[in-house]
Amino acid sequence: MTQSQPADPSAEIARLGALAVDFHRRLELDPGAIYPAHADCLWQLGTLRIAQGEVDQGLLDVAGSVELYRALAQAQPESYAVQLASLLNSQSNLLAEASHLEEALAVGNEAVSHARVAMDLRPDQTRFVLVSSLINLAGLKMRGGDTAGTVNELAHAVEVFRDGGTTGQQFLGSMVEALHRAAMAFTEIGMWGEAIDTRRLLLGLFPENPPAAVVHLLILTLQQASVALSGAGRTEDALVCANEAATLARALYEADPTAHRLALAQALGNLAGRNHDLGRLKEGLDLALEAVDLFHEVVGSDPVHAVPSLILTLETLAGILTSLGLSEQAATVDEQRRQLQQTLDLMAPRQA
């Protein structure tokens, strides 16, 4: 229920306020006479007051509107259950914007509950309301530090979306955006398990032939996680992430070598580093050499992205060669790395 801002908000607030008083008088005379127009009037009045800075009074008006729709939905669920769930979801958002997070969470949970009930009555009309409510609830749980709850609600949203089949495709953009933002948020705070799980949920939106870009996002998150986990001393976990990233990148490369050669090179270079961390020198050496060969195929056409990753892989390769006692070869590789770094440093001002 979205309205454009009136030319004179104060006059509109006065008009709606007078109308709400009139509706209230009618309700006092006949408590059973609940008008949808009364609820809509209060909602418009509340959101307008909130927009004008009268937040507390506006939230009271909104709550009054929701209560009227609650009564309407109880009397005529077929007609009003979906709208009640939608308004509860909107009310939760308004409460969250006003920093009433506990109340927003409670109302958000209620929105999901009512939307699930409405799904039994009018599934096609309710599906987006339920998906939206679950995504909103996930965001509230993230703000409250409940990371497991966040992923759980997002998983439910994906399930509802997928159950809609072709009718759910109209919500695809909203789902992709919500899951991507959640994954980025988890990444920023170093919640790598949750970030990866959310990327998997994003992939799950496309049960057959997921877009390469979505797969690549999972690959990047796995690689970031592997580096962070290795730095934290969790080398075995880091290797698991790096292995999965390389497997996914190789599948992309096999489908389209030209488009995904750089992605595979980066994933293999990262995997080589994780093997080196664990002392698996032979495996690391083979991976690093394969990665370097791939980088050399890419660096001429995409130096901006290829050179920094190639430098890191050459550093890994030099470290592996040193650990194997091949100091001369390591020195040669390190000199190549040094020269590339100089070239990169020269390129940096031009890019800036």
SS3 letters across the chain: CCCCCCCCHHHHHHHHHHHHHHHHHHHHHCCCCCCHHHHHHHHHHHHHHHHCCCHHHHHHHHHHHHHHHHHHHHHCHHHHHHHHHHHHHHHHHHHHHCCCHHHHHHHHHHHHHHHHHHHHHCHHHHHHHHHHHHHHHHHHHHHCCCHHHHHHHHHHHHHHHHHCHHHHHHHHHHHHHHHHHHHHHHHHCCCHHHHHHHHHHHHHCCCCCCCHHHHHHHHHHHHHHHHHHHHCCCHHHHHHHHHHHHHHHHHHHHHCHHHHHHHHHHHHHHHHHHHHHCCCHHHHHHHHHHHHHHHHHHCCCCHHHHHHHHHHHHHHHHHHHHHCCCHHHHHHHHHHHHHHHHHHHHHHHHHC
Beta carbons of 137 and 108 less than 8 angstroms apart: yes
Beta carbons of 127 and 168 less than 8 angstroms apart: yes
**Spatial CB neighbours of 1, under 8 Å, sequence gap ≥ 6:** 40, 43, 44, 86, 87, 90
Beta carbons of 340 and 311 less than 8 angstroms apart: yes
* pLDDT for res 343: 79
Nearest one of 70, 112, 67 to 89, comparing CA atoms: 112
d(CA 240, CA 245): 9
d(CA 63, CA 85): 13
* pLDDT for res 347: 66
Residue 326 dihedral angles phi and psi, to the nearest 5°: -100, 70
Angle formed by the axes of helices 36-51 and 55-75, nearest 10°: 160
* pLDDT for res 5: 62
Amino acid at 281: L
d(CA 290, CA 268): 7
- From the first residue on, what is the mean pLDDT of each consecutive set of 10 residues in the chain (352 residues)? 66 90 78 79 94 95 95 91 95 96 97 95 90 94 92 92 81 88 92 94 90 96 97 96 98 96 97 97 97 94 89 96 96 93 72 46
* pLDDT for res 309: 93
Question: Burial level of 348, CB count in 10 A (0-12/13-18/19+)?
Answer: exposed
What's this model's pTM, rounded to 2 decimal places?
Answer: 0.80
Tally the residues of the chain. Answer: 352
Beta carbons of 292 and 313 less than 8 angstroms apart: yes
* pLDDT for res 348: 60
* pLDDT for res 328: 95
Topology, domain 211-352: 1.25.40
Beta carbons of 174 and 161 less than 8 angstroms apart: no
Structure-block tokens of residue 271: 């995997």
C-alpha pair distances (Å), 307 with each of 257, 292, 310: 19, 11, 5
Nearest one of 135, 59, 43 to 98, comparing CA atoms: 59
Beta carbons of 130 and 160 less than 8 angstroms apart: yes
Structure-block tokens of residue 260: 């995904």
* pLDDT for res 7: 65
